[in-house]
Copies of this chain bind each other. A is one copy, B any other.
């Protein structure tokens, strides 16, 4: 712990290098993550988290680039966590439009981080939760989390945000439309990007219709997800989305929904911590001889996977609590 204290102090005082270092630590070191989060946790809870998701090619990053500018104009200190779709393999290569966004990094009031998952089973979700806290505790009062809304894990992350924006564009393919449909239920705001393109009306009507099915639910909640049209090339083109985000925040705070959602987020978070702790242990165990042999028996059909799992869990018990 002692060794981490100076770094944490620096981060809390807003030192970007220290913040980046802390995020890397929580990404890679279970033990240190535990220490860091415990230490900074009392300083968290001030930041408002906006999730931005949508199918590939919907122009999320370009929108985000402009949203950062608008938020800065209103004095927010902005943190950005970009979930990189390639991360499971490349360790988080930045995409072209992500790079464009990076120009904000020179702004002391903006911190941008691209997250890479380490293996599956909650690794990415856990790292993202921890990174949000570090940025929160370091004084970034508005945090954007960008995901490509396709994978389960990515969607699980974005739906824990205080406000969720679903970005779409006219003229996406069959499969992409389906992905979009899959995201409808998590969205508080719909943005139709590239609204200068042909087919905007169609997308608009699609969304309107989809929302109709949920009318009752929205009535009860007292919030009907707005559908805003944006053209991410200009600040002006993004302003309607920015205004919608602010309106939704007011609604969340005044209606008490914010607390509800943060309770949900906390629950998801505790779950992912447990999941990744256990997943890590299992990895270690299966790398060892004894449990490794079990796998061999499964391959040879001497043992079925469920029975093997049970045997491994017995050992897991000792490893986790013994």
Chain A residues at the B interface, C-beta cutoff of 8 Å: 33-34, 37-38, 41-42, 44-45, 55-57, 84-90, 93, 95-97, 117, 120-122, 124, 129, 148, 150-156, 172-176, 178-179, 181-186, 259, 262-263, 266-267, 269-271, 273-275, 277-279, 282-283, 286, 294-296, 298-299, 301, 304-309, 312-314, 316-317, 320-321
Contact = CB atoms under 8 A, between A and B. Distances in A.
Contacts of A175: 56-57, 85, 95, 97, 148
Contact of A151 (B55, B95, B153, B321): B153
Contacts of A85: 150, 175, 178-179, 182
Contacts of A301: 41-42, 44-45
A270 B295 contact: yes
Contacts of A308: 266, 270
A152 B305 contact: no
A154 to B, nearest CB: 6
Contacts of A121: 121-122, 271, 275
Contacts of A274: 278, 282, 309, 312-313, 316
B271 A279 contact: yes
A262 B175 CA distance: 30
Given A90-B182, A314-B321, 5 more contacts: A86-B179, A86-B182, A95-B174, A151-B152, A277-B313
A34 B310 CA distance: 11
Nearest to A259: B299
A128 B35 CA distance: 37
Q: Which 10 A-B pairs have the closest CB atoms?
A: A151-B151, A86-B182, A57-B173, A41-B304, A150-B150, A273-B309, A56-B175, A266-B298, A89-B182, A56-B176
B305 A313 contact: no
Chain A binding site: helix, strand, loop or mixed by DSSP? helix
A95 B172 CA distance: 14
B305 A266 contact: yes
9 contacts: A34-B306, A85-B150, A87-B182, A89-B186, A97-B175, A120-B156, A153-B153, A274-B312, A317-B317
Contacts of A155: 88
A123 to B, nearest CB: 8
Most buried by B among A259, A274, A301: A274
Contacts of A312: 270, 274
Given A121-B121, A266-B299, A271-B279, A307 B156 contact: no
Of A37, A120, A182, A320, the most chain B CB neighbours within 10 A belong to A120
B270 A309 contact: yes
A279 B278 CA distance: 10
Contact of A270 (B173, B176, B178, B294): B294
A38 B306 contact: yes
